Chains A and B, each alone.
Chain A
Amino acid sequence: MEFYRAHVLVCGGFPCVAAGCRAVRGEIERSVKEHGLEREVRIVETGCLGPCDLGPIVVVYPEGTVYSRVSVDDVSEIVGEHLMKGRPVRRLEYTERLPSVSQADHKRPDYFGIQERIVLENVGLIDPDSIEEYIARDGYLGAGMALTSMSPDEVISAIKASGLRGRGGAAFPTGVKLGFTARVEADQKYIICNADEGEPGTFKDRLILEGDPHKVIEGMIILGYSVGATMGYIYIRGEYYLSIERIERAIAEARRYGLLGHDLFGSGFSFDIEVKKGAGAYVCGEETALIESMEGKRGEPRQKPPYPGTCGLWGKPTVVNNVETIANVPPIVRNGADWFRQFGTPTSPGTKVYTLTGDVNNKGLIEVPMGITLREVIYGVGGGIPGGRRFKMAQTGGTAGGCLSETHLDIPMDYESLQETGSALGSGALLIIDDSHCVVDIACALLRFFEHESCGQCTPCREGTRRLHDIFRKTRELAATEKDLKLARELAGVMQASSLCALGQSVAVPLFTIMDHYADEIEAHLEGRCPAGVCRPNPANADESAYETLQAGNGIR
């Protein structure tokens, strides 16, 4: 390998591509050449470095200097000063530091202080298009160990012992799920990596796939070996153009290296992976809808049981796991269950990748141990609320997750503790909302989403999401009555009990938590007042009675 004096990492995660990192990278290449540094300085396009809001981000190693919001015009200064003369450009420097490559892997300073990186251990540090860099960081070691020195049962036992639970939302213990499928006799079994990621506010799976695609491939090989599946599919959102491109390149590379295909590691075990594109439907993230879609049908969820673990794709036993769950598998196999259990809490071991959005200073991707508090996330890693505003509400787990108020700031973020508040960790989306927003308006945004994404197959969900949206729109127009809100509760309760899939069942989660934690604020709307000053009456229903008559005409009470 050639030796380079300095490495310049340019963030090529999706948000940064959006912010213009391609142009910046091109300019750096040009400028480095112009200064005759191309044999001394290596330019690497990496996955997401985390603080997406600050892109494009450029990191110069070995110093580990981070430059944020770099523009094309800044490049000549970085190259001329820093790379030529060794003087970092203070003006552009992001005040908190990223880890340096040479540093120990699991303890990071400052902004990264409370972060622990297991899933994201390579993201932002390696070139995702280079299988060699992945291998150099212990890549494919876990798969090699599993296939050559462990039996499938031993692999499953290790994953069971680690206590890993599904990161896709339902939090089902991964080892147990593998155990079910391993026990079923079948001529063919499948592994599906669920990369449909449609939950608003979630973009972790995209950044894992774009930043460290080989880790997902390695995880799938291990899962395939453990249950006896020889074929894997990655079902990925059609809109994730860059992720599709990267993962397809990575699969081709892995095949070229003999890490996918026949007789892996000389163990006699064969495994291959294919990518399937989705076409824009939130419900296809639900595992049985996803399988329907993969069979070339409308993405309508199936009745469960039978569960995919025994009867999935083409009626064969199928393990469906989230991208993040799968990315946890290679480190667990490599380092052992005890190592994994030193992070997080006894019932929720490991870390969780969150995507932080909304009214918070540092938006983006973080990975922290399970069990740290919401306050630590918002005010520590998140850097607090901008503009001197006050924290009002946090929604955990995406649109289908629950809302937490100020009284919940010190609750540990793990599966059990959040469940007690009526919320859930879900997909890892963390939406922070300050006091300039009105909860009724937010509820409308959530309900609009559900109305749009209901697949229409079952009545409680199809009709319920519409009626709930109507009621909350009416509340936002300051025209709702007590009776309307009672009806909303009843409706959501019926949906929770009788919808076919978790989409309809889970509408009650955000709705009830908002209605419970912000009862006063909602009450005020019934009296014609919006405390946050966001909601306004609709002049069209100035005549209350005419509105009521109209509603009655529509067959609504």
Chain B
Amino acid sequence: MLKMRGPVGPEGSGVVCECDDVFLTEVQRVVSVYKERPEDLVQALHDVQSLRNYLPREALRVVARTLDVPESRVYGVATFYSMFSTSPRGRHIIRICESAPCHVAGAAEIINSLLNELGVEMGGTTSDGIFTVETSSCLGVCGVAPAIMIDDTVYGNLVSEDLPAVLRRYR
């Protein structure tokens, strides 16, 4: 099988993907339960993404072959949904909501503090490869806004001063 390295994350992002045989075999194993079941494309992509936190091009090819769908469609789906990423991301995904209810509760301030604290722009990955920050439309935690979600954990009723302690748990 084709051995390939990369794609590599944005310069200095510290994120490197090695699409080696070991990884692709793992992808193959994960998607084999969806063999020839095109309707499970979204579920298959969830499973594949859980391996490396993003969907490398080579992995999409494996998914296409296994589920028996055109690669173009796999790519179309992978780029449509906001939970999927086709470029490398950090080890932990920080999602933050800036919709109206969170905006009213002061999300803008938390966003600024968070980006400052991490030294990245929205959508960026920290240089140590630990965090990627993304916006999300609504996390359904508006009752404790402003809130951030790190992977599957929510931190609510935040003030800027809470952020360093929250982030430290992941470093």
For the complex formed, measure the closest distance between the CB of A313 and the CB atoms of chain B, giving whole angstroms.
Answer: 9
Contact A355 B142 (CB under 8 A): yes
Which B residues touch A18, using CB under 8 A?
141, 144, 147, 153-156
Contact B77 A239 (CB under 8 A): no
Contact A293 B42 (CB under 8 A): yes
Set B42, B104, B142, B155: member contacting A203, Cβ < 8 A: B142
When A and B form their complex, what is the total count of cross-chain residue pairs whose Cβ atoms lie within 8 Å? 153
Cβ < 8 Å to A, chain B residues 59-96? 67, 69, 73, 76-77, 80-84, 95
Which B residues touch A280, using CB under 8 A?
81-84, 136-137
Q: Whose C-beta in chain A lies nearest to the C-beta of B147?
A: A18
For the complex formed, measure the closest distance between the CB of A283 and the CB atoms of chain B, giving whole angstroms.
Answer: 9
For the complex formed, measure the closest distance between the CB of A390 and the CB atoms of chain B, giving whole angstroms.
Answer: 15
Which A residues touch B67, using CB under 8 A?
296
Cα A52 to Cα B140 in complex, Å, equals 12
For residue A277, CB closer than 8 A to chain B, the reply is: yes
A239 in contact with B149 given A15-B143, A19-B156, A197-B140 (CB within 8 Å): yes
Q: Whose C-beta in chain A lies nearest to the C-beta of B153?
A: A18
For residue A199, CB closer than 8 A to chain B, the reply is: yes
For the complex formed, measure the closest distance between the CB of A423 and the CB atoms of chain B, giving whole angstroms.
Answer: 15
Bits for A394-418, please: 1 = Cβ < 8 Å to B, else 0: 0100010000000000000000000
Q: Which label, helix, strand, loop or mixed, suits the secondary structure of the A interface? A: mixed
Interface core residue of A297, A355, A364, A448 (most chain B CB under 10 Å): A297
Bits for A179-217, please: 1 = Cβ < 8 Å to B, else 0: 000000000000000000111111100100000000000
Cα A200 to Cα B73 in complex, Å, equals 29
Contact B156 A358 (CB under 8 A): no
A429 in contact with B38 given A18-B144, A355-B143, A364-B143 (CB within 8 Å): no
Chain A contact residue count (CB 8 A cutoff): 58
Contact B145 A452 (CB under 8 A): no
For residue A281, CB closer than 8 A to chain B, the reply is: yes
Chain B contact residue count (CB 8 A cutoff): 47
Contact A429 B101 (CB under 8 A): yes
A277 in contact with B144 given A14-B154, A445-B98 (CB within 8 Å): no
Which A residues touch B24, using CB under 8 A?
none
For residue A278, CB closer than 8 A to chain B, the reply is: yes
Contact A203 B143 (CB under 8 A): yes
Cα A278 to Cα B137 in complex, Å, equals 14
For residue A269, CB closer than 8 A to chain B, the reply is: no
Cα A198 to Cα B136 in complex, Å, equals 10
For the complex formed, measure the closest distance between the CB of B143 and the CB atoms of chain A, giving whole angstroms.
Answer: 3
For the complex formed, measure the closest distance between the CB of B26 and the CB atoms of chain A, giving whole angstroms.
Answer: 20
Contact A239 B139 (CB under 8 A): yes
For residue A295, CB closer than 8 A to chain B, the reply is: yes
Interface core residue of B38, B69, B100, B144 (most chain A CB under 10 Å): B100
For the complex formed, measure the closest distance between the CB of A381 and the CB atoms of chain B, giving whole angstroms.
Answer: 14
Cβ < 8 Å to A, chain B residues 14-57? 38-43, 45-46
Contact A299 B144 (CB under 8 A): no
For the complex formed, measure the closest distance between the CB of A385 and the CB atoms of chain B, giving whole angstroms.
Answer: 12
Contact A399 B99 (CB under 8 A): yes
A298 in contact with B104 given A55-B144, A198-B137 (CB within 8 Å): no
Cβ < 8 Å to B, chain A residues 434-462? 437, 441-442, 445-446, 448-449, 452-453, 455
Which B residues touch A365, using CB under 8 A?
143
Cα A399 to Cα B39 in complex, Å, equals 31
Cα A295 to Cα B156 in complex, Å, equals 35
For the complex formed, measure the closest distance between the CB of B17 and the CB atoms of chain A, giving whole angstroms.
Answer: 20
Q: Whose C-beta in chain B lies nearest to the C-beta of A22?
A: B153
A452 in contact with B45 given A281-B81, A296-B40, A363-B143 (CB within 8 Å): no
Which A residues touch B69, using CB under 8 A?
296
Set A357, A442, A448: member contacting B98, Cβ < 8 A: A448
For the complex formed, measure the closest distance between the CB of A24 and the CB atoms of chain B, giving whole angstroms.
Answer: 15
For the complex formed, measure the closest distance between the CB of B63 and the CB atoms of chain A, giving whole angstroms.
Answer: 11
Q: Whose C-beta in chain B lies nearest to the C-beta of A358?
A: B104
Contact A206 B156 (CB under 8 A): no
Contact B103 A14 (CB under 8 A): no
A399 in contact with B144 given A18-B156, A282-B137, A298-B77 (CB within 8 Å): no
For the complex formed, measure the closest distance between the CB of A392 and the CB atoms of chain B, giving whole angstroms.
Answer: 11
For the complex formed, measure the closest distance between the CB of A15 and the CB atoms of chain B, giving whole angstroms.
Answer: 5
For residue B112, CB closer than 8 A to chain A, the reply is: no
Which A residues touch B149, using CB under 8 A?
239
For the complex formed, measure the closest distance between the CB of A50 and the CB atoms of chain B, giving whole angstroms.
Answer: 9
Q: Whose C-beta in chain B lies nearest to the C-beta of A393?
A: B104
Bits for A2-20, please: 1 = Cβ < 8 Å to B, else 0: 0000000000001101110
Set B73, B80, B82, B140: member contacting A14, Cβ < 8 A: B140
A453 in contact with B140 given A358-B105, A445-B103 (CB within 8 Å): no
Chain B positions near chain A (C-beta within 8 angstroms): 38-43, 45-46, 67, 69, 73, 76-77, 80-84, 95, 97-105, 135-145, 147, 149, 152-157
> Considering the complex of A and B, which 6 residue pairs feature the smallest CB-CB distances, nearest first?
A52-B143, A200-B99, A296-B41, A279-B81, A18-B154, A280-B82
For this complex, 6 residue pairs linking A to B, each with C-beta atoms less than 8 Å apart, are A15-B141, A238-B46, A238-B81, A298-B77, A357-B104, A452-B135
What 8 additional pairs, Cβ within 8 angstroms, besides A363-B142, A446-B100?
A18-B153, A197-B140, A201-B99, A237-B140, A240-B140, A296-B69, A297-B41, A357-B145
